[in-house]
Amino acid sequence: MQPESNTWILTAHCESRLGTVDALTAYLRRTGNYITELNSFDDRLASRFFIRAVFRSSDSQFDEQAFREGFAEQAEPFAMEWSLTPVHHRTKVVIMVSKYDHCLNDLLYRYRTGHLPIEIPAIISNHPDLRGLADWHGIPYYHFPITPETKLKQENQVWDCIQQAGAELVVLARYMQVLSPAMCERLDGWAINIHHSLLPGFKGARPYHQAYEKGVKLVGATAHYVNNALDEGPIITQGVQAVDHAHYPEDLVAKGQDIECITLARAVSYHIEKRVFLHGNRTVVFPS
């Protein structure tokens, strides 16, 4: 189903105070906007309040600027940090990948069928292997090789490409390179990585073979925001599936890759739908 052109997403967070819900909902009522979805959470330990509302304007000529100015006045006494986004906005997403193609292929399928309302202005890789997949979808593919000696230069090329593409989100769809602290700082809070396990666990090479040797009974995946702590950024989504002694390493790989695809796609969807709030090293996520 295509989103209505006159439907908007309003998100806000602030210190926990009396009247925070009313500050948003009463303003929407006064301005003739009908709430179609509403989620809120009050973190009593941190005294922080989070709210997300989807609303439909009764005015076919919705005045975005006037709405913003009016709500800014409403939000100021609460020191709210807030955003307003049209539901039909298609987020510009740059995808980074190495040689594994399962997550990239899944994202491209969801993009092609319209199930993931995004634009993909660029695919970036440190290998040339997946250029054909990008070409088939008509998406520019940028191959920036990397060695320990050229890491700084390569990351500068990547960063320039991300900026030139106007990216609003970067997705590491099995990009098998450790980002430098400087690059992590640049991408902090707006880059999503997929990890091949329920963090923490089985780091390094051949994770599914490690899992097999340990006789695991669950395989999973974790999608998280990038920060300067390797694979320890704020978690957005996790997926899990039961396995048993009859699953060989190749079976674990196949199941694990399926879970990675689903978990990453869900994290991207939640991010572009403004369902995720960064909350220190944690997240508040209002699932669909």
Domain ranges of the chain: 7-86, 91-285
Residue 200 pLDDT exceeds 60? no
Q: Note the pLDDT tens digit of each residue in 65-93.
A: 999 999 999 999 999 999 999 999 999 99
Q: At what angle do helices 207-214 and 249-272 cross, to 10 degrees?
A: 120
pLDDT at 202: 64
Active-site choice (43, 101, 188, 231): 231
Q: Tell me: cis bond preceding 200? Omega within 30 of 0 counts.
A: yes
231 included as an active-site residue: yes
Topology match between the domains 7-86 and 91-285: no
Percent of the residues in the chain that have a pLDDT greater than 90, as a whole number: 78
CA–CA dist 92, 204 (Å, integer): 31
CA–CA dist 111, 97 (Å, integer): 16
66 Cβ contact list (under 8 Å, min separation 6): none
Residue 98 pLDDT exceeds 50? yes
Q: Note the pLDDT tens digit of each residue in 223-279.
A: 999 988 767 789 999 999 888 889 898 998 899 999 999 999 999 999 999 999 999
pLDDT at 199: 47
Provide mean pLDDT across the span 155-159: 98
Q: Confidence band (pLDDT; 50, 70, 90) for 2?
A: very low
CATH topology of domain 91-285: Rossmann fold (3.40.50)
Residue 1 pLDDT exceeds 50? no
For the chain, the average pLDDT equals: 92
Kindly report the CATH class assigned to 7-86: alpha beta
